[in-house]
Chains A and B, each alone.
Chain A
């Protein structure tokens, strides 16, 4: 479904990604782990189309279509969803209004009419229950004054509403207590099916106890240096990243 080949990217002439190759098939869960500064967040930003980073080589293909010329919103319309590590505050815009706008823009781009209000309400109700969200929460300004847990829950709520093909969860576990982590992971698991895929980006193994990956990749210094199954995450948790570095150097 998503195929990344030989991806190189830099910011302000500093090369951060040095040739990433990654293929994610429908129905799969992939995890990218790695030490701080390895380029994990850069990768997620680039898939979503953030223009802060310059793609110098390689391509990102979603369902056979090259994404590189597409604006972030066009990528979103095609089913790319990024759960932000630091979701942005937009004062005065309620969660409901925001998600309504997002859904209808996606429908418009795909040649559909606006979602009828009753259908929208029903969907909002269902998905907010899934994430155990308080109804009052939906009328608050987007991310403004939200706790860390609320922000992340709101991200997954939006993911549930937008039903993406590929969901990238960038450090979704950071700032979450154990209950919030369980709710968020539970939400992700319920949304997963054979037609979509999830890419979890994380520093720690913690989240992977709840969202079990099919593949774990280790990203170091802009490259994927090792790929394994769910057990690789446990090994990393136990031994840290140094041994991989040594293995590389050897």
Chain B
């Protein structure tokens, strides 16, 4: 009797090529490889930055030189050679001042392949997009509509020029230059990224969105995102990432800083689909990202992530719950296949009274991959009545992968309540048979069960993104399903 087994699925998955693995021939301007103070200065000069910014970068660079690259127990890879990377690569034809109509048709064709045709997005959805290819922000749509509300949404380079007072005041306040090895590197060499400011009491009428893509070979991408939600404001922000397939490992070291002032709310959603390497584990992106948000009184930051790409992911979107009554949330789906390694989780630092945090993490491992949840819940002595609930579930597919849970729970407050639960399971044969009996083939049954397993997190994504995320889950795990 022919039966489609989990093993068949595994084989199929391993043979499934990376769907976004195309490379667009764009004329790029790329700096020589290597990193020194001159390169840092050159990046700053190229971007016509004010002197304070140059100094800020140099300060970070000097700190970085003194730092040691972190070692992680459950992630193994050959460390990148930081002198073999080019730290600046811009599509030559990009000019931040032009309108969408002037955008290089080849670029537009690339977006279309990505499924994010700017025109289409503009027409169909209420989504304003900033697209960063390699290092430079290419075009920001919807600027006018946003301007009317006083919302600033532009590339960080533009913000440094146009809104230096905001950038200077907030940049590096949540993730300091010296926070960690990769944050320091990013602070020194970041070439672009997004900036967003929502004024007091304004509810951003549309989802703001950024797409990142590494195109040029031998380059690293170091984008920097700074998002400030002023008192009582609200914004939902989406971030998508892809890279073409290449044999060598590419480095992506981003920093994202969120500031939610009193009673503000930020929803930050990421769908990360950098090239994961081929089925032998060759190539792929090293995704070493520092994401952190600061919550003032009554503020709320909610991180949602769907991580399906990258050869190695090292990422802990975190919340500093400084203000009383502030709320932090982390919803994550991490899928690893073949030789991918993911070490991801969150830190919830409770400083204020009555602060609450929720962590829901769903890890799915297949192939020969390793998938770890690493998280910290810390309750300070002043954080009376702090509450945390954490749930970490792992699903293993096949017997060559690993699923790991490393929660750190630290409490110094007698009135705090913390609950942590973790489970590990596989897809039950009885579940598959039940689906089969109702006419659902095994492959589809597995997709259905995986989707069910991830539903709590998928539900947290904005509509437009949820569909894409579901599709990505299928691509990275479920072979031809869908």
Chain A interface residues (CB < 8 Å from chain B): 48-51, 68-73, 75-77, 80-82, 84, 87-93, 97-99, 101-103, 105-106, 109, 141-142, 158, 162
Contact = CB atoms under 8 A, between A and B. Distances in A.
B82 interface: no
Contacts, number: 91
B3 A90 contact: no
B431 A109 contact: no
Nearest to A142: B452
A49 B452 contact: no
A109 B439 CA distance: 9
Contact of A90 (B431, B437, B444, B456): B431
A98 B455 CA distance: 14
A82 B437 contact: yes
Contact of B433 (A50, A101, A162): A50
A160 B441 CA distance: 20
A69 B448 CA distance: 25
Interface string B433-477: 111111111101000110111111000000000000000000000
Q: Is the interface of A mostly helix, strand, loop or mixed?
A: mixed
Contacts of B440: 73, 101-102, 105
A236 B1 CA distance: 38
B4 interface: yes
B448 A93 contact: yes
A77 B437 CA distance: 9
7 contacts: A50-B433, A71-B441, A72-B436, A81-B437, A81-B438, A88-B433, A105-B439
B428 interface: yes
Contact of B438 (A49, A76, A92, A97): A76
Given A71-B4, A76-B436, A98 B441 contact: no
Contacts of A88: 428, 430-431, 433-434
B404 to A, nearest CB: 22
Contacts of A48: 437
A147 to B, nearest CB: 18
Interface residues on B, range: 20 to 34
A237 to B, nearest CB: 30
B456 A92 contact: yes
A92 B360 CA distance: 14
B452 A141 contact: yes
- By Cβ-Cβ distance, the 9 closest A-B pairs, closest first, are A92-B452, A72-B436, A93-B452, A76-B439, A92-B455, A102-B438, A88-B434, A106-B439, A73-B436
A91 B444 contact: no
Which of B4, B430, B431, B433 has the most chain A CB within a 10 Å cutoff? Answer: B433
Contact of A101 (B4, B430, B448, B454): B448
Nearest to B452: A92
Contacts of B430: 88
B399 interface: no
B454 A49 contact: no
B147 interface: no
Contacts of A77: 439
Given A72-B433, A92-B456, A102 B439 contact: yes
B2 interface: yes
Contacts of B437: 48-49, 72-73, 75-76, 80-82, 84
A69 B452 contact: no
A142 B451 CA distance: 13
B451 A93 contact: yes
A82 B433 CA distance: 11
Contacts of B2: 69, 71
A71 B436 contact: yes
A91 B449 CA distance: 8
Nearest to B453: A92
Which of A70, A73, A106, A158 has the most chain B CB within a 10 Å cutoff? Answer: A73
B434 A87 contact: yes
Nearest to A48: B437
B467 to A, nearest CB: 14
Contact of A73 (B439, B451, B452): B439
A87 B437 CA distance: 11
A250 to B, nearest CB: 40
Interface in B130-145: none
Contact of A105 (B3, B441, B451, B455): B441
